[in-house]
Amino acid sequence: MKILVTGGAGFIGSNFIHHILRTYTEYGVVNLDALTYAGNLENLKEWEADERYRFVKGSVTDGKLVNSLVAEADIVVHFAAESHVDRSIMSPQAFIDTNIFGTYTLLETARKYNKRLHHVSTDEVFGALKLDDKPFNENTPYDPRSPYSASKAGSDHLVRAYFHTYGLPMTISNCSNNYGPYHFPEKLIPLAITNILEDKKIPVYGDGKQVRDWLYVEDHCKAIDLIIHSGKIGETYCIGGNAEQENIWIVKKLLEIFGRDESMIEYVKDRAGHDRRYAIDFSKIGSELGWRPTVTLEEGLRKTVNWFQENMDWWKHVKSGDYTEYYKKQYGK
């Protein structure tokens, strides 16, 4: 089987490629990535000489390129997206271009060749939960609150519309907050870890009591693997980590792992429109496909800390580039 992975040089996409190539020795992967700030070919360095893997630099908005790659693939797994809420607030244009128009371009080509497509999305399309609300599930109405989540909601609707209108063989997954190896250090967990390693303050939005469900990235990749092989065409599957915790709990746990005290925490002005809580009910994928998360939150945090400690060159290189200027704009430092 040949899989076209869009956005495969990013955090989740690269972990998915690692999973596929390690699990299925007879599979081939073509990785299409524009190599924007969060795309990093160092994430996949170990596969560069493997004949089963091929990298193509380009955008999902490039219709001619997408056409040539989809034509030769058996299945398309679509990760490519602008994905950081703060960046979407500062500059939404790229999110509209990549997340909506890019998905449209991919859908048109998949429809042309009637290719199986899996679209990777987020729980943020559902909006926010109150602390006592039931978790999101596949029937939760969409209520996006940021340019990022609105653009992902739009792409979800497009994918679903192509199934209903054209019979495109597709599935969608909406996941909770991922963390783990190769995580770009602008998100909470990798930012906290790298700041601790650099003896810098950890910025925490508002009171830090925003609740998220945390999903170790390898568990997420295994779930997508199950969906593309056994999922029901036309269906959506919610993927969660069964690990709800406040952001401030995460930061304090990381400080505990490092043996550092809470003086490293710096509370900063809250993000505009910051959702209070996300949580996922993953019972559908559990009952239909037999999936559930296997890595506990504390185990996953320790594994992630170990990875960042063992890969100092990777994250120092990443943090010295585009992210440095972004960080200064965000926190004035």
Residues assigned a catalytic role: 123-124, 148
* Per-residue three-class SS string for the chain: CEEEEECCCCHHHHHHHHHHHHHCCCCEEEEEECCCCCCCHHHHHHHCCCCCEEEEECCCCCHHHHHHHHHCCCEEEECCCCCCHHHHHHCCHHHHHHHHHHHHHHHHHHHHHCCEEEEEEEHHHHCCCCCCCCCECCCCCCCCCCHHHHHHHHHHHHHHHHHHHHCCCEEEEEECEEECCCCCCCCHHHHHHHHHHCCCCEEEECCCCCEEEEEEHHHHHHHHHHHHHHCCCCCEEEECCCCEEEHHHHHHHHHHHHCCCHHHEEEECCCCCCCCECCECCHHHHHHHCCCCCCCHHHHHHHHHHHHHHCHHHHHHHHCCHHHHHHHHHHCC
